[in-house]
Chains A and B, each alone.
Chain A
Amino acid sequence: MHNLTIKQMSEKLHAGEITSVQLTQHYLDRISQYDAELNAFVTVTPELAISMAEAADKMLAAGNGELLTGIPIAHKDIFCTDGVKTSCSSKMLDNFIAPYDAYVVEKLKKVGMPILGKTNMDEFAMGSTSESSYYGPTKNPWDLNAVPGGSSGGAAAVISAGLAPMATGTDTGGSIRQPASFCGITGIKPTYGSVSRFGIVAYASSFDQAGPMTRSAEDAAWMLNAMAGFDERDSTSLERETPDFAAELNQPLKGLKIGVPAEYFGEGLDSGVEDVVRNAIAEVEKLGAETVEVHLPNKDLAVPSYYVLAPAEASSNLSRFDGVRFGHRCEAPKDLEDLYKRSRSEGFGAEVKRRIMVGAYALSAGFYDAYYLKAQKLRRMVRDDFTKAFESCDVIMGPVAPSPAFNIGEKSDDQVSMYLSDLYTIPVNLAGLPGLSVPAGFVNNRPVGLHIVGPYFSEAKLLNIGHQYQQVTDWHKQMPEQYQ
Chain B
Amino acid sequence: MSLGKTEVEYISRLAAIEVNESEVNDVAAKLSNILDLFSQMQATDTENVSPMAHPLDQVQRLRPDVVTAVDQHEKLQSVAPKVENDLYLVPQVIE
- CB–CB under 8 A between A and B in the complex? yes
User: Which A residues form the contact surface with B (CB < 8 A)?
Assistant: 95-97, 99, 191-193, 206, 232, 235-236, 238-239, 298, 300-301, 303-305, 307-308, 315, 319, 322-329, 333-342, 344-345, 348, 353-354, 356-362, 364, 370-371, 373-381, 383, 415-416, 419-420, 430-433, 456
Interface of A is mostly: helix
Mark each residue of chain B from 19 to 39: 1 if its CB lies under 8 Å from any CB of chain A, else 0.
000000001001101111110
Q: Inside 8 A of B54's CB, which chain A residues have their CB?
A: 192, 206, 236, 432
A305 and B78 form a contact (CB under 8 A): no
Please tell me if B5 contacts chain A, counting CB pairs below 8 Å: no
Instruction: Point out residues on B near A: beta carbons under 8 Å.
Output: 7, 10-12, 14-18, 27, 30-31, 33-38, 40-42, 44, 46, 49-56, 58, 60-61, 63, 72, 75-76, 78-82, 88, 90-93
Q: Taking A326-B79, A374-B41 as contacts, is the C-beta distance between A380 and B51 under 8 angstroms? A: yes
- A344:B17 contact, CB within 8 angstroms: yes
CB distance from B47 to the nearest CB of A (A): 9
Flag if A364 contacts B58 (CB, 8 Å): no
Give Cα distance in the complex from A324 to B83, angstroms: 9
Q: How far is the CB of A195 from chain B (nearest CB, A)?
A: 14
In the complex, what distance in Å separates the CA atom of A379 from the CA atom of B52? 6
Q: How far is the CB of A159 from chain B (nearest CB, A)?
A: 27
Quick check: A416 and B34 within 8 Å, CB to CB?
yes
Indicate if the CB atoms of A357 and B41 lie closer than 8 Å.
Answer: no
A327 to B79, CA, bound (A): 7
* Given the contacts A304-B40, A360-B11, A370-B42, A99 and B78 also touching, CB distance less than 8 Å: yes
- CB-CB < 8 A to B76: which residues of A? 99, 325
A340→B16 contact, CB < 8 A? yes
Q: How far is the CA of A342 from the CA of B80 in the complex (A)?
A: 17
Bound-state Cα–Cα, A215 to B40, Å: 38
Closest 5 pairs (CB-CB, A-B): A432-B55, A376-B51, A329-B81, A380-B52, A377-B46
Q: Which residues of B contact A304 (CB under 8 A)?
A: 37-38, 40-41
| Given A341-B17, A357-B11; 20 other pairs, CB 8 A cutoff | A99-B79, A193-B58, A235-B61, A239-B61, A301-B41, A304-B37, A307-B38, A324-B90, A333-B91, A335-B91, A338-B91, A341-B16, A344-B18, A345-B17, A353-B15, A357-B31, A358-B31, A379-B52, A380-B49, A433-B55
